[in-house]
């Protein structure tokens, strides 16, 4: 018999929210439309557990979409936050913590000497793109289909037809002129990359080094090395967006795993420990082009906010080699358990993972790019996700998103997850 969850209070709140917030939410994926149900309103979280407003408990694999690598309401993050808040929540003047956080980031990411903080990943990407254009005197940005770098105009772009280099807006309201300065290339496609970077001058090749916004789709052997070599060859910058992978997949992010350094690194999520924060980092010469050291304008009322900095420092402080080994081991066990659960009922899935990230693709063949993710059985995925929710597992409600296992997940929660997954797979068959 299918399991079910009580959502009377969530439904009431959603009806009220629909009157006051477009679509009832403040960010689209929360609405759960991709899995054909209404959003669940959260009451509180502790560790890897979420409690909703109807009293349902879930093992949470969204974890705020990545920032909460130590889980919800982590005592050490809370302690740091309370201490910082007691001194004042924002000054619009420099604080010592900002230097500590920049130093911690620079220690972890070899290609980063200096850091400019922002309040979101979107702003950080915007800053990196501006800096790349200023540094090269060029405008065109090459990005990959299925990658997400925030909602800035020029990157809300989709490939035009055929071999068209100039992308088209992917959202109403994006000027054609903004999108047309972007070129979209299929991920993991060396020929397409070479073709797209062989015509017009390019300011930057922008990539998630471990893409997680079309589900987790790792680079194929040699692809990141090609991006690095090609950027150097054509005099473009390589901008690596580590908003998701940064400080999650390894101490120094995906750049540490691959050994391929960026000219500019975009960061977010984990560095804010659950508070709004983003950052762009890079070599000193490039970074000193930013105002007021240089002439490239960039600013933010809450940039380097003392609460976000305190939460970020408290989060990073416990992310040592041992923590990454534990996170990798948990992710591997989770991936193996989910694969086994699918195998027991003969459901063909592909599980892509790296430490702290995982996607279950409803596909018979491995997924290497956006087209592969689009070809998945989204209907079955949606049914499975609803089945997970009704059995107390809150997984990202879209085939295009990654699960975020954390250091707070326990062996008991792993067991519950795998048996819920098995039952939800069986229900589909």
Ligand X SMILES: Cc1ncc(COP(=O)(O)O)c(C=O)c1O
3-class SS of residue 200: coil
Active site residue 143: no
Active site residue 148: yes
Candidates 324, 318, 327; CA nearest to 414 is 327
Angle at 222 between CA 220 and CA 225, to 5 degrees: 125
CB of residue 245 to ligand X, shortest distance in Å? 8
CB of residue 111 to ligand X, shortest distance in Å? 17
Q: Which position among 241, 263, 369, 377 bears the catalytic label?
A: 241
CB of residue 274 to ligand X, shortest distance in Å? 12
124 vs 202, beta carbon nearer ligand X: 124
Candidates 274, 276, 281, 194; CA nearest to 241 is 281
Beta bridge partners of 72: 47
104 vs 208, beta carbon nearer ligand X: 208
CB of residue 429 to ligand X, shortest distance in Å? 33
308 vs 367, beta carbon nearer ligand X: 308
Which residue's CB atom is positioned nearest to ligand X? Answer: 121
Angle at 104 between CA 100 and CA 109, to 5 degrees: 150
Is residue 88 exposed (0-12), middle (13-18) or buried (19+ Cβ within 10 Å)?
A: exposed
- Strand 264-268 to strand 278-282: parallel, antiparallel, or no bridges (unpaired)? antiparallel
> CA distances (Å), 144 to each of 30, 68, 418, in order?
24, 27, 33
Q: Which position among 148, 324, 394, 400 bears the catalytic label?
A: 148
337 vs 356, beta carbon nearer ligand X: 356
Active site residue 269: yes
CB contact at 8 A, 137 and 295: no
Binding residues for ligand X (CB under 6 A): 65, 120-122, 125, 148-150, 208, 213, 241, 243-244, 268, 278
Q: Which position among 60, 143, 269, 400 bears the catalytic label?
A: 269
Q: What are phi and psi of 407, to 5 degrees?
A: -75, -5
Q: The dihedral of CA 105, 214, 238, 331: what is its sign?
A: positive
CB of residue 121 to ligand X, shortest distance in Å? 2
270 vs 407, beta carbon nearer ligand X: 270
337 CB contacts (<8 Å, ≥6 apart)?
A: 414, 417, 418, 421
Q: Looking at the annotation, which residues are catalytic?
A: 148, 241, 269
């Amino acid at each position: 018999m299918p399991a079910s969850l009580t959502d009377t209070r969530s439904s009431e709140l959603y009806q009220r929210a629909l009157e006051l917030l477009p679509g009832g939410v403040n960010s689209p994926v929360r609405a759960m439309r991709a899995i054909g149900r209404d959003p669940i309103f959260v009451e509180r979280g502790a560790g890897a557990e979420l409690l909703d407003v109807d009293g349902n408990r879930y093992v949470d694999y969204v974890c705020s979409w990545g920032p909460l690598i130590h889980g919800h309401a982590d005592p050490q993050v809370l302690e740091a936050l309370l201490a910082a808040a007691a001194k004042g929540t924002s000054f619009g003047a420099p604080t010592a913590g900002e230097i500590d956080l920049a130093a911690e980031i620079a220690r972890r990411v070899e290609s980063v000497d200096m850091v400019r903080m922002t309040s979101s990943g979107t702003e950080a990407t915007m800053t990196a793109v501006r800096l790349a254009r200023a540094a090269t005197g060029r405008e065109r940005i090459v990005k990959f289909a299925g990658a997400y770098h925030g909602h800035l105009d020029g990157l809300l772009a989709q490939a035009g037809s055929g071999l068209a280099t100039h992308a088209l807006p992917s959202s109403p309201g994006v000027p054609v002129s903004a999108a047309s300065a972007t070129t979209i290339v299929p991920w993991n496609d060396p020929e397409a990359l070479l073709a797209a970077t062989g015509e017009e001058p390019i300011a930057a090749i922008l990539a998630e080094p471990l893409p997680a916004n079309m589900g987790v789709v790792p680079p194929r052997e040699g692809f990141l090395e090609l991006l690095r070599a090609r950027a150097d060859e054509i005099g473009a910058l390589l901008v690596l967006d580590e908003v998701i992978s940064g400080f999650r997949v390894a101490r120094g992010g995906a750049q540490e795993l691959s050994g391929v350094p960026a000219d500019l690194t975009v960061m977010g999520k984990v560095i804010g420990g659950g508070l709004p924060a983003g950052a762009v980092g890079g070599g000193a010469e490039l970074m000193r082009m930013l105002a007021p050291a240089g002439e490239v304008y960039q600013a933010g009322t809450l940039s380097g906010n003392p609460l976000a900095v305190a939460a970020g420092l408290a989060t990073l402080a416990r992310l040592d080699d041992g923590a990454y080994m534990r996170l990798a081991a948990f992710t591997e066990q989770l991936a193996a358990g989910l694969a086994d659960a699918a195998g027991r009922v003969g459901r063909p899935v592909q599980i892509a993972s790296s430490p702290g990230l995982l996607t279950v693709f409803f596909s018979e063949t491995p997924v290497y790019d956006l087209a592969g993710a689009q070809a998945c059985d989204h209907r079955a995925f949606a049914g499975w996700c609803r089945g997970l929710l009704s059995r107390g597992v809150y997984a990202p409600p879209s085939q295009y998103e990654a699960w975020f296992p954390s250091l707070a997940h326990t062996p008991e929660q792993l067991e519950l997850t795998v048996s819920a997954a098995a039952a939800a797979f069986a229900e589909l068959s």
